[in-house]
Structure 1
Amino acid sequence: MRLLIVEDHAPLVASLFAYFEARGAQLDAAPDGVVGLHLAVTQPFDAIVLDWMLPRMEGPQVLRTLREHGIDTPVLMLTARDQLPDKLTGFRAGADDYLTKPFDLEELELRLLALVTRARGRSARRVLEVGDLRLDLATLDVHRADRRLHLFPASRKLLQVMMQASPAAVSRHQLEYALWGDEPPDGDMLRSHIYELRRSVDGGQAVKLIHTIPRVGYRIAVERAADAPAQ
């Protein structure tokens, strides 16, 4: 199990690392919401332990931003707030579970294992489909009709974000954030990645699925030729 701990209280982080590493888990930590958000978007985790009160960006905002960008990693909110309105705020932001401080480490472990088990079962059954394009979220295999596509990791990430949003458009900012967080590289690297994705998905195909939405971004959808935007 790979966990991300987004928590600014160093002694608690040390305690969590000692407990979970002794049980074979791999952990990463972020001391504030901005770093936590970047790690959660750019790296795969089985679950995230997210504190409410964080420097730079509070937990609920981190969580809302994650969900807006299509990141469905299970998140357990960790906080001293124990009133029902606070819990409702956490769940409405997209939390999967909620544990108040102080807490027992064994209870936290059991809750995380339950979240991870449920998420893995859900992922095993999840296949995104747009027309004859399929992305299996469990295996990350991509097929167009009967042909398997071999994508670079960045291309596959862009494809997942767009397929999860389909048929809606995804802004350039959302796609850049999915790849690089708050630190996109200089130059228009996104255009290069979209070009590679188009070459793999639409190359040689009569029906084009990836469409440019001028001044907005891109979307993936099956469209009639008369309605399709410029490529």
Structure 2
Amino acid sequence: MHDGLHILVIEDNPALRAGMATLLEARGHRVAFAADGLSGLQMALDEPPDVLVLDLTLPGMDGLRVCSHLREQADRHIPILMLTARDTLADKLVGFQAGAGDYLVKPFAGEELLARCLALAHRHERREGYVLRIGSLDIDRRSGSATRRGQVLGLPQTAYRLLVLLAEAWPRTVTRSELIRRLWGDEAPPSDPLRSHLYLLRQVLDKPFDRPMLKTVHDVGFKLEADA
């Protein structure tokens, strides 16, 4: 596993957020924060974290609803550590059913928070691995490289990120608007920002081979198809 995790914390208590930032950043982790469920959900969808620390009681959208929406909308699994002030079996079962991977009752020791985040990330890594494999295509997210039929694909950064997004969503079709949002957020270039990157991806991924993998789904978006 890489040295530092990307951890998203959705917690409305400023003092608790500050304490978690001090602890997690001191251990080399990259931490992002949201103070309400709706903005936290959007952050998790825009840039899926390695671990999501999620308070059960939040303004606007509570933790259970955030969990449920993530399971429906995210195009990959996100490990979730649920925080709650209520230490009851019923609350824990509801959290697990909504998609939480672990539960931590407030107040908690910082070292326990850290240990549980690391354990969730390790479990996820064992399950998901770094390598995405679709037919003859292998993408190693740790090294940032991709091969097809053993041939290294020399992709520019944005074309590589586009390939990873499509591979993580496989076999689902990803809409043009979703790809633009995931690649550029609110700062998308003018005109048609995807056109040139899709062209480059096709030139490298498909042109040297007899069977194309990148497919255009008319009026919907784009998807990868396995070639074997």
**TM-score surpassing 0.5?**
yes
Asked whether the equivalents of residues 69 and 174 of structure 1 are also in contact (C-alpha less than 8 Å), the reply is: no
* Match 1:74 to one of 75, 79, 87: 79
Which sits farther off after the overlay, 109-118 or 78-87?
A: 78-87
1:11: how far off?
A: 0.8
Deviations along 1:84-143, whole A, 9 cap, x unmatched? 4543443334322122323232321221121223334445x4532222211123433210
Matched, 1:211 2:228: no
Asked whether the equivalents of residues 157 and 178 of structure 1 are also in contact (C-alpha less than 8 Å), the reply is: no
Question: Which residues in structure 2 correspond to 1:55-74 (within 5 Å)?
Answer: 55-67=59-71, 68-74=73-79
Asked whether the equivalents of residues 51 and 78 of structure 2 are also in contact (C-alpha less than 8 Å), the reply is: yes
Matched, 1:116 2:116: no
Asked whether the equivalents of residues 136 and 227 of structure 2 are also in contact (C-alpha less than 8 Å), the reply is: no
Matched, 1:99 2:80: no
5+ residue gaps in structure 2? none
Asked whether the equivalents of residues 176 and 184 of structure 1 are also in contact (C-alpha less than 8 Å), the reply is: no
Matched, 1:171 2:140: no
Change (3 A) 1:169 1:42: closer
Residue aligned with 2:212, SS = coil
Question: Which residues in structure 2 correspond to 1:4-153 (within 5 Å)?
Answer: 4-43=8-47, 45-67=49-71, 68-123=73-128, 125-153=129-157
Residue aligned with 1:90, SS = helix
Matched, 1:199 2:191: no
1:16: how far off?
A: 1.3
- Percent identity over the alignment is 40
1:73: how far off?
A: 3.7
User: How many Å separate the matches in 2 of 1:122 and 1:155?
Assistant: 26
Change (3 A) 1:103 1:142: same
Asked whether the equivalents of residues 136 and 226 of structure 2 are also in contact (C-alpha less than 8 Å), the reply is: no
Change (3 A) 1:31 1:143: same
Deviations along 1:151-174, whole A, 9 cap, x unmatched? 344333332332233333223343
Asked whether the equivalents of residues 75 and 96 of structure 1 are also in contact (C-alpha less than 8 Å), the reply is: yes
Change (3 A) 1:53 1:22: same
* Match 2:158 to one of 132, 154, 159: 154
Backbone CA RMSD of aligned residues: 3.0
Q: TM-score, normalised by structure 2?
A: 0.79
1:209: how far off?
A: 0.6
5+ residue gaps in structure 1? 225-231
User: How many Å separate the matches in 2 of 1:35 and 1:7?
Assistant: 11
Residue aligned with 2:23, SS = helix
User: How many Å separate the matches in 1 of 2:204 and 2:159?
Assistant: 9
Residue aligned with 2:164, SS = helix
Deviations along 1:188-212, whole A, 9 cap, x unmatched? 3234433332222112322111111
Residue aligned with 1:129, SS = strand
User: How many Å separate the matches in 1 of 2:220 and 2:163?
Assistant: 17
